Amino acid sequence: MTDRDIPDVLAPAKLGPITLRNRIIKAATFEAATPGALVSDDLIEYHRRPAAGGVGMTTVAYCAVQPEGRTEANQIWMRQDAVPGLRRLTDAVHAEGAAASAQIGHAGPVANEASTGLPALGPTRQFNPLGMRMVRAATLADIDRIRRAHGDAARYAVESGFDAVELHFGHNYFASSFLSPKINKRTDEYGGSLANRARLVRETARTVREAVGGKIAILAKLNMDDGVPGGFWLDEAVQVAQWLEEDGSLDAIELTVGSSLLNSMYLFKGDVPLREFAAEMREPVRTGMKLVGKHFLKSYPYRDLYMLEDARQIRAAVKMPLVLLGGVTDRAGMDTAMAEGFEFVAMARALLREPDLINRIADEPSHRSLCIHCNKCMPTIFTGTRCVLVTPGARP
């Protein structure tokens, strides 16, 4: 690729049937701003700010496709009652010139049954350390119901004014747990070989495409590896990405890593805020977090573009648009992603620190994110996700 061929990350770009004002996507980060599993003014403001701050698209997370697919009781699940609030949110984002995407999925074994009061479902029966209960094995009827629910959720997204949906195939949520040979011990058509373990993600993507056609863009967040021994790994991810491309159901894939169930820090890199996590827990979990938390929340050093090396292997294997996530903090990193052949970049923590980061970079290309990767934003998911270094109420 010559310099002349490298796209300008700040120029408009096509994503399936839509055009974004630039190639920068605010990645999905659970907002903890949906009391009663409905949109709040805080949630609208959470997404309005990066939209006003210059991103091409902001991603609402997390919109479960079924009530038991929530990680906790106050998460949105896609239904008619949620549409008016979601429409207010998309209207607010559109008024700032950005597009809006809904991340839809099913938490599967990551769901907290103690919070939702509904059974957590996975490929096979196992213990869930998040909810301190057993995950039940999904029946074939459960799998079919959840697959079809993704299509219904995508239709609600269209009705709510979203420009795109992002299918959650990562972090050992329901679809991702089926991909993982460590979690999926089934012996039927959804277990065993990679082709069987990938059946659910392929069927789900097809179902969503059939549900909405070309009305909105369809992305998928796909794990490159789970970050645990015996889990889903890069060589398998390459093949799954190729199958998804062949199926033609998606407009782009956003590449990710890690397991919310087994190794959550593998995705984030940087500091591990054990003290802050413990402060949000009730006893005896609080004491346990202080004593043995470092064995569950492992520390990984941060570096810019930390997923690039693995993502290159997916990039070499498929021609479809890819979104690079992980350590995108400045114009230089964005330009590197473009030069490496990625069509879009996604940012999360950097936009919590500076919702107007993209406008700042447009005004001064040498500007770097103020995010220090302390990860103290992570424990705030229990009370309202935010950067603890930002003054509350600040507007871009």
* Rounded Cα distance, 334 and 345, in Å: 7
pLDDT score at 286: 59
pLDDT score at 281: 65
Task: Give the E-state strand segments of the chain in sequence order.
Answer: 13-15, 18-20, 24-26, 57-64, 99-105, 121-122, 126-128, 133-137, 164-169, 217-223, 252-256, 322-324, 344-347
pLDDT score at 54: 98
What percent of the chain has a predicted confidence (pLDDT) above 90?
82
pLDDT, tens digit (0-9, with 9 covering 90-100), for 373-382:
999 998 888 8
- Cα angle 152, 232, 205 (rounded to 5 degrees) comes to 20
Residue with more model confidence, 90 or 275: 90
pLDDT score at 391: 67
Please tell me whether the overall predicted TM-score, pTM, comes out greater than 0.75 for this model.
Answer: yes
pLDDT score at 265: 87
Q: List the structure tokens of 266.
A: 């593998």
Q: List the structure tokens of 253.
A: 């894939």
Cα-Cα-Cα-Cα dihedral sign, residues 285, 375, 174, 304: negative
Task: Give the E-state strand segments of 32-156 in sequence order.
Answer: 57-64, 99-105, 121-122, 126-128, 133-137
Query: Which CATH architecture best describes the domain 13-382?
Result: Alpha-Beta Barrel (3.20)
> In this structure, are residues 16 and 214 in contact, taking their beta carbons and an 8 Å threshold?
yes
* Rounded Cα distance, 191 and 179, in Å: 9
Residue of 202, 218, 208 whose CA lies nearest to 250 = 218
Residue of 353, 356, 360, 333 whose CA lies nearest to 345 = 333
* Rounded Cα distance, 261 and 182, in Å: 12
* Rounded Cα distance, 278 and 20, in Å: 40
* Rounded Cα distance, 391 and 388, in Å: 8
Look at residue 228 and tell me whether its pLDDT is greater than 70: yes
> In this structure, are residues 187 and 38 in contact, taking their beta carbons and an 8 Å threshold?
no
End-to-end Cα spacing for the chain: 36
Look at residue 3 and tell me whether its pLDDT is greater than 80: no
The domain locations on the chain are: 13-382
pLDDT, tens digit (0-9, with 9 covering 90-100), for 46-94:
999 999 999 999 999 989 999 999 999 999 999 999 999 999 999 999 9
pLDDT, tens digit (0-9, with 9 covering 90-100), for 126-145:
887 666 678 999 999 999 99
Mark 109-147 as b/e (b = at least 16 C-beta within 10 Å). bbbbbeebeeebbbbbebebebbeeebbebeeebbeebb
Cα-Cα-Cα-Cα dihedral sign, residues 280, 285, 290, 292: negative
Range of lowest pLDDT (109-123, 159-173, 241-255):
109-123
Q: List the structure tokens of 330.
A: 């400045």
pLDDT score at 63: 97
pLDDT score at 279: 73
Residue positions counted in the chain: 396
Mean pLDDT along residues 101-108: 97
Instruction: List the catalytic residue out of 46, 62, 156, 173.
Output: 173
Mean confidence (pLDDT) of the chain: 93
Look at residue 350 and tell me whether its pLDDT is greater than 60: yes
pLDDT score at 178: 98
- 368 strand-pairing partners: 330
> In this structure, are residues 71 and 381 in contact, taking their beta carbons and an 8 Å threshold?
no
306 part of the active site: no
